[in-house]
Chains A and B, each alone.
Chain A
Amino acid sequence: MQYPAATLPFGGPIPWDRSTAEEPGAILPTFPYARATPMGERGDRAMFPEAPPTALGTSQAGAQGAPEEGTPVDAVMDRFARGDDSALAELYRLGAPRVRAFLARLCSDLALSDDLTQDAFLRIHAARGKFAAGAPALPWMFAIARNSYRDFLRRQQVRREHRNTTAMLASPQRLDRPESGGDRALIARQMLGIVQHALMSLPVRQREAFVLMRFEGLSLAEAAHVLGATEAAVKILVHRAYVVVRAALDKQNQADALAGKPGAR
């Protein structure tokens, strides 16, 4: 199966993209759902039209405005809510990658995102009976993961370590990137680091809204539900976040252009 190459906005393919890796399988993202796809046709099905249906389709359909029904994760969550304890392992297998990715993008710390994912799934387990029948599971899980993250921040604040933690989390080095050669790869890593740094400089609420809509593929209505805000408020949050991130990227692009680096525009 030939996958189309994912691209970065400043030109050129992502160096470690599976379709362009020199050794196929050498640098494979284990997050098949982490996407660099256009908003308009989000999701794996849109990016890889020949790919088999993913286990997690809720958010992808959400971007189109039509609620998707009967995705495996929804069905598994429903089984779990009805009392099938064996469904927890499957739910974790299906849902944890998305929850972990969401948390990693929020906190920029992979180890912390692992801990928070565990916490979120303990909460999901405890609250399974409150999951409404027929509801999409992913927004519900994202909302619980967000609560885990918020509670973590609150605990940090109580311990008066918030400033230090924020500084630690804001460090672009927290997400270690695979080292692959070439100037283009270097620029790509640099750009992603800039995005990460810009995201961490945002207020938490803006970051949550931006991550949910840009990277998790939720529609405006779904993001508003998860954040407990109105759609207009979410749009404003996302716009403000976009302005900050875009400005950081533009600044870097200008610097690269002045330095005559390849890929800069």
Chain B
Amino acid sequence: MSDFDLERLDDVPDPLSGIDTRPLPPLRAVTAPSPTRSQVASVRAIALVGALLYELAWLTIMSKRDDLHTLGAMTLFIEVAIPVGAAILALVAAAAPGERGLGEPKARLATLALLSPALFVLATLLVASVAPVGEDDTLSFWFHCFRCFAWTSLYTAGPLVFAGWAFRRSFVVAPAWRTAALAMACAASGAATMSFVCSVGNPAHVLIGHGGTMFVAALVGAALGRRFGQV
């Protein structure tokens, strides 16, 4: 089947051949103004800045983790860089125009979108195995996880609102995938903020408590993508 010769399609005549002799009906009156390309770019830039300010505001409000001063610069960088990298990957997957203006091709979109959580998971496990940080949980593991999940969701909410505002009805093709990637990017930014707040280094805690929002956000984004993300 893969060696199917597309030239053979010529065999099939066009069912519309010579049929439609009607003139084009006039275009329905368009009354509502629509944003131009520069306005869309402005809105997206404002949304990006707004999302970053939202995270910065939480960083200002929340008390930082106790071991922040004792952490090495490299460790801190890695802990923050992992979710930030995941966020950038997911954002590129969602918003890149692609060479034909229809976004990245499906294969690359799926790769980028799945690479984002994969990077988060692999890097978290790698960091934990090479340089374990944080202390053992004294309280219930699941209680900690749930608490961090709830806070990370709160950190994610702002970027999600901004993303919803800036990218509503933006995706022509594969809206579910792209909205999922976008939501994942928002959740990854929330996870990055959480890295400054939570000192628990248990990789299972980081994956579930901090990274779990990425999974949930992706599911919600995929479910809502066609309804709210599609042009």
Chain A residues within CB distance 8 Å of chain B:
6, 8-9, 14, 16-17, 27-31, 34-36, 38-40, 67, 81-83, 88-89, 92-93, 96-97, 100-101, 104-105, 108, 110, 114, 118, 121-123, 125-136, 139-140, 143-144, 147, 175-178, 188, 191-193, 195-196, 199, 210, 213-215, 220-222, 224-230, 232-233, 235-236, 238-239, 242, 245-246, 249
- Selected A-B contacts with CB under 8 Å, 26 pairs: A6-B17, A14-B13, A34-B14, A34-B16, A34-B20, A67-B99, A82-B37, A93-B24, A104-B20, A108-B15, A121-B27, A122-B30, A125-B30, A129-B39, A135-B99, A175-B15, A175-B19, A224-B105, A224-B106, A228-B177, A236-B1, A238-B4, A238-B6, A242-B4, A242-B12, A249-B11
Chain B residues within CB distance 8 Å of chain A:
1-2, 4, 6-25, 27-28, 30, 32, 34-41, 97-102, 105-107, 169-170, 172-174, 177, 230-231
* With contact pairs A225-B100, A236-B1, A238-B4 given, residues A214 and B9 touching in the complex (Cβ less than 8 Å): yes
Chain A residues with Cβ below 8 Å from B230 are 147
Chain B residues with Cβ below 8 Å from A118 are 25, 27-28
Chain B residues with Cβ below 8 Å from A132 are 97-98, 101
Q: Which of B14, B22, B37 contacts A192 (CB 8 A)?
A: B14
A192 to B23, CA, bound (A): 22
CB A27 to nearest CB in B, in angstroms, measures 6
A34 touches B17 (CB 8 A): yes
A126 nearest CB neighbor, chain B only: B34
Chain A residues with Cβ below 8 Å from B13 are 8-9, 14, 36, 188, 191-192, 195
A29 nearest CB neighbor, chain B only: B18
B35 touches A196 (CB 8 A): no
A225 touches B173 (CB 8 A): yes
A82 to B40, CA, bound (A): 10
A27 to B20, CA, bound (A): 10
Chain A facing B: main interface SS: helix
CB A201 to nearest CB in B, in angstroms, measures 13
A29 to B38, CA, bound (A): 39
A128 to B41, CA, bound (A): 12
CB A88 to nearest CB in B, in angstroms, measures 7
A89 to B26, CA, bound (A): 9
Q: Shortest 9 CB-CB distances between A and B: which pairs?
A: A135-B101, A129-B40, A132-B101, A83-B36, A132-B97, A196-B15, A228-B174, A228-B173, A239-B4
CB A262 to nearest CB in B, in angstroms, measures 17
Chain B residues with Cβ below 8 Å from A28 are 21
A17 touches B18 (CB 8 A): yes
Chain A residues with Cβ below 8 Å from B18 are 14, 16-17, 27, 29, 177-178
CB B43 to nearest CB in A, in angstroms, measures 8
B172 touches A144 (CB 8 A): yes
A135 touches B15 (CB 8 A): no
B39 nearest CB neighbor, chain A only: A129
